[in-house]
Structure formats: structure tokens, C-alpha cells
Amino acid sequence: MTTPLVFHPIYSQLDLPERHRFPIEKYVGIRDELVKRGVDKRRFVTPSPVDVSFLNAYYDPEYVEALTTGALDKKAMRRIGFPWSQQLIERTRTAVSGTCLTASLALENGKALNLTGGYHHAFADFGSGFCLFNDLYLAAKTMQKNASIDNVLIVDLDVHQGDGTAKLAENDADIFTLSIHGEKNFPHRKQHSNIDIGLAKGTEDDEYLQTLEEALTLALRQFQPDAIIYDAGVDVHVNDDLGHLHISTQGVYERDKQVFALAERLGVPIAAVIGGGYQRDIAALVDVHIQLYRAAGVIN
Ligand SMILES: [Zn+2]
């Protein structure tokens, strides 16, 4: 079956101050690269903005109201790292909805991928580190609305700890959070995932892939997932501006393969999002993100 791909042009539509470090162009860059490599343009599924009522079910409604209406104070916006705009809210609502749609499509198809997502620094009542609403948590909740899904494993391999996800899911026995990240990196105050592995600066492929294998084995001893959500952040890459790890492009590909192989072995659906990745050279960055789609068998 063809693996669904979720994309909306708004993913890359956000006016940012010059030299802002967020590579907003990468999302459409990934879409274009996939098309260049033979993916039919008509194959992309388009999400609509998420309902505020759905956000309110899992977030502090005061935070949702203040953020969506532009009433959040300057300090809270600084923590998020984007200037407030109506465009930012529309983009975020669509991106978050994209991950939830990806989660639903994964249940139907076994596998589905969003061309954005991984807003793991968003908490129930504040946003942080370019994350406004936590799409990973909402996607887990979306999956659990399906009668066949109780337990959801969130595998977060972005170089930054999935602190918001860990905190949001801390009282959900049916959501298991696994984060492998750089120990000396943002967020400096870590939360408790079910499994946290903090890697040293300069960690290379062999140790990284070995650690992942052991962590997945350990997770499965504690938890039997009915579905997996995967944050495939590529800020682990050696050329990343924020990562401090030394993972090669091939290492990223093998990592992503490992996670998809786990889902296949267990016979459970998997929804993947691209997560973080920060390089000024968008083409170089897209080349690392594209490994996820190679690993999923979407392209060669
Ligand atoms: Zn990151």
C-alpha cells in the first residue's frame, strides 16, 4: 500500500526576521525534493487547521486563548522564539493537525509521514523552543480514539529532549515516552520521560545506533505498544548548527530504518514526523531530512 504523506504549503509560510535561525523553507524543500525523486504531487494529503476545542481538551484553555488571540505576554512569546502573527497561529494549527491526520492515516495504512511536526517542547500551559502546541501528544490521543489502540510508544530521536511530551504524558500509563538526546543541550532542565538517554557531545554513528537498539529493547520490556509515533529530528547530524552530535547522513538513514523495522516486526502502525534540523544551507538540510522518506520506502 502507498504510504500517505501529509503536507500543506503553509508549513513553510511564516515571515520571520532576517537571520532568524529557524529554517522555515525546509518543509516545502522536502516536498519539492520528494516530487523531484518521483513522488506524484497528487499524493500529498492536505490537513485543515486543528479545532480549538480539540486543543482545549488537552491544554490549558487560558494558554490556548491567549496564544491564538495574540494576548500572550512578551516573555512567553520569547520563550517560544517566534514573533506572534496570525500566520504563525494558522501555520501551527495546520501543522499540529497534520500530525494528527498522519496518526489517523498510519492506523489505516500501517505507516504515514508528515512533512513537519515534532513540537516536543510545548507543554500544557506554555510553549518553548519553536513549539506552540505539542503535536506528538495530540497524535497519541488521536490514535487512542481508535478502539484497537490503547498503548502508544513515542520515540523521540530529536537531539533535544522531548520535555513537553514527557511532562504532558507523565500521568498517562498508556503513553510511553522514549527520548534519546544530547545531554548538554536545550532544554537544560530536563523532564522525566519513561526512558531518557542523554548522549555526550561528539557521539558518532556506531555508539548512537547501538544505544538506540538497546533503548528500544528496554522499552519493549516495559511496554507493549499498539502504535508508534516517531519524531525523526535530524539535529543529531554532524553539520547541524544546534546539535553537537556527530551523526552522518547514512547514520540518520540507518536510525530511521531501525525504527520502521521495529514497527514492522511488532506489526504495529507508525506515524513519523520530521522534527528539528538546523542548517542554513536548506538543500543540505533537506538532504538529511529526506533520509526518513528513504527509510520508509517512499523514495529510493
Ligand atoms: Zn531539536
Q: Give residue 106 CA to ligand 1 midpoint distance, Å.
A: 23
> What cell was used for 187?
532544554
Q: Give residue 185 CA to ligand 1 midpoint distance, Å.
A: 9
Residue 281 pLDDT exceeds 90: yes
Q: Give residue 148 CA to ligand 1 midpoint distance, Å.
A: 31
The SS3 assignment for 108 reads: helix
Q: What is the mean pLDDT of residues 170-198?
A: 97
Q: Which residues contact 223 (CB under 8 A, 6 or more apart)?
A: 151, 153, 176, 194
121 classed as catalytic = yes
Residue 1 pLDDT exceeds 80: no
**Which of these, 190, 184, 204, 300, lies nearest to 255 by C-alpha position?**
204
Residues with CB under 5 A from ligand 1 (ion): 158, 160, 233, 235, 276
- Local structure of residue 21 (DSSP, 8 states): S
Confidence of residue 18 (pLDDT cuts 50, 70, 90): confident
Percent of the chain with pLDDT over 70: 100
What would the pLDDT profile of 56-114 be if each residue is shown by its tens digit? Answer: 999 999 999 999 999 999 999 999 999 999 999 999 999 999 999 999 999 999 999 99
- Average pLDDT score over the chain: 97
Q: Give residue 254 CA to ligand 1 midpoint distance, Å.
A: 19
Q: How many residues are recorded in the chain?
A: 300
Q: What is the mean pLDDT of residues 208-220?
A: 98
What would the pLDDT profile of 249-276 be if each residue is shown by its tens digit? Answer: 999 999 999 999 999 999 999 999 999 9
Confidence of residue 222 (pLDDT cuts 50, 70, 90): very high
Give me the pLDDT at residue 204, please: 98
Residue 29 pLDDT exceeds 90: yes
Q: Where are the alpha helices (DSSP H) in 37-174?
A: 52-58, 61-69, 74-80, 86-109, 135-144, 163-168
Domains, the chain, ranges and CATH? Answer: 5-13+24-295 (3.40.800.20)
Please identify which of the residues 8, 20, 120, 121 carries the catalytic annotation. Answer: 121
